[in-house]
């Protein structure tokens, strides 16, 4: 029964499309079906996708085309066809609004040239509907581009800008925003008098103002010659018109005016240097961050454009409490990915030069949000968080380095982003600091970056760090630096067999450094990392195991008691554990050279020491000692 009722529902997508396609549907029924379809999809992404899947767009475009042909052919029922044109154009615009798959379907169905004809229709409602639909299409990167070097295209554009219809003139401005991408295109538009016409539209309706501001921002961007035509004429009256709109009552108009002024300032640096204007720009953007909609999503990007690479602007923004405002926005959560991306980029720019900004970011615990951002579904958000983290890592503050260390250790899949964004380079520079606390925390962060990552990431880190720099850190005057450096090497050789080869590069520079410290240091925390490094190397191939034996039992030296016995007798349980694990890995029975190594270990008194450890108070030591003894005893008394 429910299925029967549902199938007879005339508002179901399948039924609506059936009515539109049927030759037996009356004019009135088709018009009603169009209205129903349009009303269902406006603002409803799920419905749009459902109708797209059912092939609704070609059906709507077919009706649009049929009614347009009937209009121009002078047939009967002109009023009906005009209503169909309005409803079908509105439906097509809705399909295109905010949905690239909808734009593609509209363009593929051949709607674009029909809509272009509609904007010159004598009925203003039809022209409005056609222009609004085209403006929806021109919100997408898929929209067709115009060649402003072609005379016919320029004439067409000027005819739009000069139209008395506000939707048609604003469409012209939208086409400029979409199509103007090169300096030559900017120049061509400027020489054709487009800037003057766009400035005139600033005095028009709301939609004309907004479209004109967005278009002006595109025309002047990074082109000083074209920008001069906006800022110089008639004592800056044109520029003042834009400045006034920065104070408009509508949030989007204020945002677009700010964008335009920032593009002018970034392009024509001698203008808009008044501190009052600069502060006002910051305060307006600060206010727009609170907007719950699209304006609030875009405001952080505009702010970033204002302060990027400009220390003076960053200082003004800092003084205006912009860092606190951005952090408040992060704490609110539940944002669109775009807004979150923009907030991290703006914070990254603020932290790029000023230590006071980095300090404030740390005080406000912004790095807590970075961990969440690294796990975000959006690649753009993750990349923005990495750029932010890289800029914070420029700080010589110990708290910053510790926070970064904690952040990077947890996100294996995204550590490569931090590397690609230049974060490792900053940490390597800080590892050379004259202040030992900075060195140790920088190396600590590098160590965490190498934890459980793939070989490609390890290679990128080691390439930036260099074997020689790492070797010097292994012999740093401060034991805490040594400990973190050896832990870094331990992480490098942990993983695949290929990982072990990192300590054999440059004639075994790193491996020999490990061996030297085993004999020269008395610091248990350093020795623990050295032995775990050798344990990892000993888990590899035969030549890896032999290299470890050479470090533990060097040919030179008269010590009758080996360093390995000393480590097994240590009061430090971690050192005892690492030493026993090394023995286990060296004596794995299936290894071809295990018998020879077992003999050496017997002769060094290792077996008798292990027998004393089978009841060690440390559970790990006790278990692994028993495993090691079992493997050693498989070869009998190798000392005889």
Nearest to 425 by CA among 477, 379, 385, 460: 460
- 117 half-sphere exposure, CB direction, 13 A CA radius: 12
> pLDDT > 90: what percent of the chain?
59
Q: How far is CA 576 from CA 214, 428, 500, 631, in A?
A: 69, 32, 22, 18
Q: What is the mean pLDDT of residues 573-583?
A: 95
Three-state DSSP string of 535-575: HHHHCCCHHHHHHHHHHHCCCCCCCCCCHHHHHHCCCCHHH
Tell me the pLDDT band of 473, cut-offs 50, 70 and 90: very high
- For 288: left if phi > 0, alpha if psi spans -120 to 50, otherwise beta; the answer is alpha
Residue 40 has pLDDT above 90, yes or no: yes
pLDDT at 372: 79
Tell me the pLDDT band of 6, cut-offs 50, 70 and 90: very low
DSSP-assigned letters across all residues of 60-106: HHHHHHHHHHHHHHT-S-HHHHHHHHHHHHHHHHHHHTT-HHHHHHH
Rounded distance between C-alpha atoms, residue 23 and residue 31, angstroms: 13
Residue 525 has pLDDT above 90, yes or no: yes
Query: Please, are residues 320 and 279 in contact by the beta-carbon 8 Å criterion?
Result: yes
Tell me the pLDDT band of 237, cut-offs 50, 70 and 90: confident
Residue-level length of the chain: 640
What is the residue whose two structure tokens read 């010589």? 396
- For 270: left if phi > 0, alpha if psi spans -120 to 50, otherwise beta; the answer is alpha
What is the residue whose two structure tokens read 């009052």? 276
Residue 1 has pLDDT above 60, yes or no: no
Q: Identify the three-state secondary structure at position 162.
A: coil
Token pair in block for residue 304:
């970033």
Rounded distance between C-alpha atoms, residue 84 and residue 63, angstroms: 8
Start-to-end Cα distance in the chain:
92
Residues 6+ apart with CB under 8 A from 510: 467, 470, 471, 474, 489, 502, 503
Number of H helices, E strands in the chain: 41, 0
pLDDT at 411: 58
Rounded distance between C-alpha atoms, residue 219 and residue 238, angstroms: 14
Query: Please, are residues 210 and 253 in contact by the beta-carbon 8 Å criterion?
Result: yes
Give 5 or 612, the one with higher predicted confidence: 612
What is the residue whose two structure tokens read 């910051």? 282
Q: How far is CA 282 from the centre of its chain?
A: 24
Q: At what angle do helices 13-21 and 27-41 cross, to 10 degrees?
A: 140
pLDDT at 248: 95
pLDDT at 269: 67
Residues 6+ apart with CB under 8 A from 540: 497, 500
Rounded distance between C-alpha atoms, residue 110 and residue 566, angstroms: 83
- Summarize pLDDT for 394-442 with one digit per residue, the tens: 765 676 677 777 766 665 555 666 777 677 888 888 898 888 888 998 8
pLDDT at 414: 57
Query: Please, are residues 301 and 335 in contact by the beta-carbon 8 Å criterion?
Result: no
What is the residue whose two structure tokens read 């020689």? 468
Q: What is the mean pLDDT of residues 463-471?
A: 92
Residue 640 has pLDDT above 70, yes or no: no
Residues 6+ apart with CB under 8 A from 204: 166, 169, 212
- 300 half-sphere exposure, CB direction, 13 A CA radius: 29
- Summarize pLDDT for 91-114 with one digit per residue, the tens: 999 999 989 999 999 999 999 999
Q: What is the pTM of this model?
A: 0.71
pLDDT at 637: 60
DSSP-assigned letters across all residues of 603-623: HTTHHHHHHTTTT-SSHHHHH
Rounded distance between C-alpha atoms, residue 569 and residue 575, angstroms: 9
- Summarize pLDDT for 362-406 with one digit per residue, the tens: 888 888 788 778 778 888 988 888 888 888 877 656 766 777 777
Give 559 or 371, the one with higher predicted confidence: 371
Query: Please, are residues 474 and 493 in contact by the beta-carbon 8 Å criterion?
Result: no
Q: What is the dihedral of CA 100, 104, 106, 110, to 10 degrees?
A: 160
Residue 196 has pLDDT above 70, yes or no: yes
Backbone angles phi, psi at 238, to 5 degrees: -60, -45
Nearest to 510 by CA among 558, 551, 480, 477: 551
Residue 2 has pLDDT above 50, yes or no: no
pLDDT at 8: 56
Residue 9 has pLDDT above 90, yes or no: no
pLDDT at 405: 74
Residue 560 has pLDDT above 50, yes or no: no
How high does pLDDT run on average in the chain? 88
pLDDT at 234: 61
Residue 514 has pLDDT above 50, yes or no: yes
Q: What is the mean pLDDT of residues 207-215?
A: 96
Tell me the pLDDT band of 3, cut-offs 50, 70 and 90: very low
Tell me the pLDDT band of 129, cut-offs 50, 70 and 90: very high
- Summarize pLDDT for 301-347 with one digit per residue, the tens: 999 999 998 999 999 999 999 999 999 888 887 678 899 999 999 99
Rounded distance between C-alpha atoms, residue 4 and residue 98, angstroms: 35
pLDDT at 445: 87
Query: Please, are residues 611 and 622 in contact by the beta-carbon 8 Å criterion?
Result: no
- Summarize pLDDT for 161-172 with one digit per residue, the tens: 999 999 999 999
Q: What is the sign, positive or negative, of the torsion defined by CA atoms of 101, 104, 109, 115?
A: positive
Residues 6+ apart with CB under 8 A from 553: 562, 564, 600, 604
Output the CA angle 448-451-454, nearest 5 degrees: 130
pLDDT at 634: 84
Residues 6+ apart with CB under 8 A from 531: 518, 567, 575, 578, 579, 581, 582
What is the residue whose two structure tokens read 């703006």? 346
- Summarize pLDDT for 241-300 with one digit per residue, the tens: 899 999 999 999 999 999 999 999 888 766 666 778 889 999 999 999 999 899 999 999
Q: What is the mean pLDDT of residues 524-548?
A: 94
Rounded distance between C-alpha atoms, residue 71 and residue 118, angstroms: 10
């Amino acid at each position: 029964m429910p299925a029967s009722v549902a199938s007879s529902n005339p508002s179901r997508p399948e039924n609506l499309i059936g009515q539109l396609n049927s030759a037996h549907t009356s004019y009135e029924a088709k018009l009603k079906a169009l209205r129903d379809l349009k009303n269902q999809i406006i603002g409803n992404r799920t419905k749009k996708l459902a109708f797209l899947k059912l092939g609704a767009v070609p059906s709507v475009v077919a009706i649009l085309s049929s009614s347009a042909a009937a209009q121009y052919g002078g047939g009967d029922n002109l009023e009906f066809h005009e209503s169909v044109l309005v409803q079908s154009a509105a439906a097509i615009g809705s399909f295109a609004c905010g949905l690239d798959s909808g734009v593609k379907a509209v363009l593929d169905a051949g709607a674009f040239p029909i809509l272009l004809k509609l904007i010159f229709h004598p009925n203003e409602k039809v022209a409005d509907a056609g222009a609004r639909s085209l403006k929806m299409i021109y919100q997408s990167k898929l929209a067709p581009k115009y060649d402003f070097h072609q005379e016919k295209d320029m004439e067409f554009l000027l005819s739009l800008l000069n139209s008395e219809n506000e939707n048609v003139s604003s469409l012209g401005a939208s086409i400029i925003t979409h199509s103007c991408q090169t300096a030559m295109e900017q120049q061509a538009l400027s020489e054709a008098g487009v800037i003057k016409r766009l400035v005139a539209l600033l005095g028009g309706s709301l939609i004309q103002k907004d479209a004109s501001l967005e278009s002006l921002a595109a025309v002047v961007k990074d082109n000083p010659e074209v920008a001069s035509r906006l800022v110089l004429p008639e004592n800056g009256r044109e520029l003042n018109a834009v400045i006034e709109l920065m104070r408009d009552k509508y949030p989007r108009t204020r945002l677009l005016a700010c964008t335009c002024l920032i593009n002018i300032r970034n392009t024509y640096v001698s203008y808009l240097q008044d501190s009052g204007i600069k502060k006002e720009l910051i305060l307006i953007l600060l206010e727009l961050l609170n907007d719950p909609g699209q304006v609030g999503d875009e405001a952080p990007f505009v702010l970033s454009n204002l302060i990027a690479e400009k220390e003076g602007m960053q200082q003004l923004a800092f003084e205006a409490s912009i860092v606190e405002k951005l952090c408040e926005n992060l704490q609110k959560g539940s944002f669109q990915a775009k807004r979150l991306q923009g907030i991290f980029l703006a914070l990254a720019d603020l932290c790029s030069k000023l230590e006071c900004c980095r300090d404030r970011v740390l005080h406000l615990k912004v790095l807590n949000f970075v961990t969440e951002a690294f796990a975000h579904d959006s690649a753009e958000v993750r990349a923005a968080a990495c750029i932010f983290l890289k800029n914070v890592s420029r700080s010589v503050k110990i708290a910053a380095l510790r926070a970064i260390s904690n952040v990077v250790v947890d996100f294996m899949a995204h550590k490569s982003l931090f590397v690609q964004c230049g974060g490792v380079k900053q940490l390597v520079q800080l590892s050379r600091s004259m202040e030992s606390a900075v060195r140790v925390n920088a190396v600590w962060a590098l160590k965490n970056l190498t934890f459980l990552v793939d070989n490609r990431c390890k290679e990128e880190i080691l390439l930036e760090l260099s074997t020689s720099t790492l070797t010097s850190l292994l012999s740093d005057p401060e034991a805490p630096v040594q400990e973190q450096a050896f832990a870094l090497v331990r992480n490098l050789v942990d993983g695949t067999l290929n990982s072990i080869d990192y300590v054999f590069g440059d004639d075994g520079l790193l491996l020999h450094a490990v061996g030297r410290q085993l004999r020269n240091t008395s610091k248990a925390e350093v020795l623990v990392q050295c032995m775990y490094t050798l344990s990892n190397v000993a888990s590899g191939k035969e030549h890896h195991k032999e290299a470890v034996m050479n470090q533990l039992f060097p040919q030179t030296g008269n010590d009758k008691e080996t360093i390995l016995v000393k480590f097994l007798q240590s009061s430090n349980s971690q050192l005892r554990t690492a030493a026993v694990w090394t023995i286990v890995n060296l004596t794995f029975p299936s290894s071809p050279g295990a018998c020879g190594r077992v003999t050496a270990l017997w002769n060094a008194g290792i077996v008798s020491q292990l027998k004393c450890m089978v009841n060690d108070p440390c559970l790990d030591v006790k278990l692994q000692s028993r495993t090691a003894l079992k493997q050693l005893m498989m070869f009998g008394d190798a000392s005889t």
